A and B are shown apart, each in its own frame.
Chain A
Amino acid sequence: MRHEPGTGSRRRARVSATLAAGVLALTGAVAIGVGVAGQEPAPPPAPQAAQPTAGDGASPTGDDSSPEPAQSPSSAEASPQGSQQKDKQKAEPSGPSGKQALGLDYSEPVSLRIPAIGATSSSLEDLGLNSEGAMTTPDDPDKAGWFTPSPPPGVPGTSVIAGHVTWNEDRSVFFSLGELRKGDRVEVTRADGVTAIFEVTKIGSFPKDEFPTEAVYQSTDYPALRLITCGGDYDEETNNYLSNVIVWARMVDSVKA
């Protein structure tokens, strides 16, 4: 050591500075670590749908000349529900046209499952219109809601279910809706014990000021389902997302519990 040992006060200063640096570094690292661990990713984006068309993408009129109900339990592609095969309520020919149309009688929906994204809503709220004529949204961010002016899922026509994507910086029931892809299944269980099984035919994200009202709500002559949540860019000032993520689906099967 070429240096002379420092004076006592300098040595003390050096030691306490070292200590302080260590403590501060540790505290800072822990704080940031906890903060980082607590980060939630933004909701997954849905593909931008270029051309909103009515119906399920099968034809612009929503009139479906090529329905694809699961012909038999064995032909259904492997799905988590492959084992539920009791008491199928099968398609019945609708009239002399020979068109196959699945369709259930009126019964209100009580719960929803989307296995592909692990989404469940153990009950469903009733949604209607607010005083401005827009759709209300669920009070509970963990629950989806059925727009009651639309037919119940499983009844021919266009049934609409909406749910939040996030709420107060927390994930909500439809957080991962944007990850759904064509062919994924959506299961809605109804008060009559029948679970209507829908298959996703289309998904898209639309700016809210270009909401494809007609393509979403237009009636169909088969049981159709639309799932709606928020997505896209988030406007901090209005506390709102700038887009809606919309899923189009049609019933392919139904199972009686």
Chain B
Amino acid sequence: MKSARIAAVTGLAALPLAFTAPASAAETVNFHLDDINDTGSTATATLTATDNGSLHVEINGTGFTPNSPHAQHIHGEVGSKEFVCPPPSADTDGDGLISTVEGVPAYGGVMVSLTTKGDTSAKSGLALDRFPVADAEGNLNYERTIPADMLPEGIVDSLQQLHIVQHGIDVNGNDKYDLEALGESPFAKSLGVNGVPAEGTFPATCGEVTPVGSVDTGAGSTGGIEQLPLMAFGGVALAGAAGTVLLRRRFTESS
């Protein structure tokens, strides 16, 4: 009976479903990036897959450490749903901050480094000279079209499950990255780069996919009158009865 109903549903009033393409068919995907580590930074990102396999990325944010570069990446894994923005419990050393290393188990490794030019692989994850720089007010804007051959295979079909993370925080509030705040980045050091302030690498925002607009969760309301033909027939029959009674009365009167 259920399958019959579903069949009827798909056949009949399935207007909203007509637009329900497979999950992988999304061409434009929006991300809302919320702050982590109490940075107050937020951003929105729009990723658009184009026909030739390239990926257009636009990110606009506010509240970032001014005049400073902000590393930003697409994190996750093709085909995996199991990544999330880091919960408070990601702070495993309990220092009140989620470090780059502490965040990775939650949002996964770097898939794409959203650099302003050149390489976009994970190898450029800390290429601070090629990441966008926030202006004096802390606005951070980025736009780039990354060609297909610079993207990991399958990423365009997995966009919905991925996360975008932006880095660079200012813990001691002096509007710059410095070694005094959190010392040197052990993460950078592990990659062979010495002297990078940890402030420059700690995550500032993390974003997951946000749907556009409302949700079409209903068609064929139970409001209004159902079974209209039956009711109409009943009405006609009743009218007929009334008419017949009148007719009968006329016969009576005329007799």
Contacts and interface: CB of A to CB of B under 8 A. Distances in A.
Contacts of A241: 217-218, 221
A136 B210 CA distance: 12
B82 interface: yes
A218 B33 CA distance: 9
B205 to A, nearest CB: 10
A230 B236 CA distance: 36
Contacts of A221: 87-88
Given A33-B234, A103-B87, A129-B209, 14 more contacts: A3-B255, A10-B251, A13-B251, A24-B240, A25-B241, A96-B94, A103-B89, A133-B27, A133-B30, A134-B212, A164-B217, A164-B218, A213-B211, A230-B215
Nearest to B82: A106
Main secondary structure of the interface of B (DSSP, over half): mixed
Contact of B96 (A28, A41, A97, A209): A97
Counting chain B CB atoms within 10 Å of each CB, the highest count among A27, A33, A108, A168 belongs to A168
Interface string A37-77: 01111110000000000000000000000000000000000
A78 interface: no
A53 B29 CA distance: 24
A101 B89 contact: yes
Nearest to A5: B255
B13 A25 contact: no
Contacts of A38: 226-227, 230
B20 A137 contact: yes
Interface of A: 3-4, 6, 10, 13-14, 17-18, 20-25, 27-36, 38-43, 92, 94-97, 99, 101, 103, 106, 108, 126, 128-137, 139-142, 147-151, 155-157, 162-172, 174-175, 206, 208-209, 211, 213-214, 217-219, 221, 228-231, 234, 236, 238-241, 244
A168 B215 CA distance: 17
Nearest to B206: A219
Given A21-B244, A219-B208, A239-B15, A31 B233 contact: yes
B237 A103 contact: no
B227 A6 contact: no
29 contacts: A4-B255, A6-B255, A14-B252, A17-B244, A18-B248, A21-B241, A23-B241, A28-B238, A28-B239, A32-B234, A34-B230, A94-B88, A95-B88, A101-B87, A106-B82, A129-B29, A131-B26, A134-B211, A148-B23, A150-B208, A166-B219, A167-B9, A167-B220, A168-B8, A229-B215, A231-B218, A238-B15, A239-B220, A244-B214
A128 B26 contact: yes
Contact of B161 (A32, A149, A236, A244): A149
Contact of B211 (A94, A141, A147): A147
Interface string B61-97: 0000000000000000000011011011101001110
Nearest to B12: A168
B26 A155 contact: no
A129 B160 contact: yes
A61 to B, nearest CB: 10
Given A10-B251, A14-B252, A24-B240, A131 B218 contact: no
A213 to B, nearest CB: 6
A137 B210 contact: no
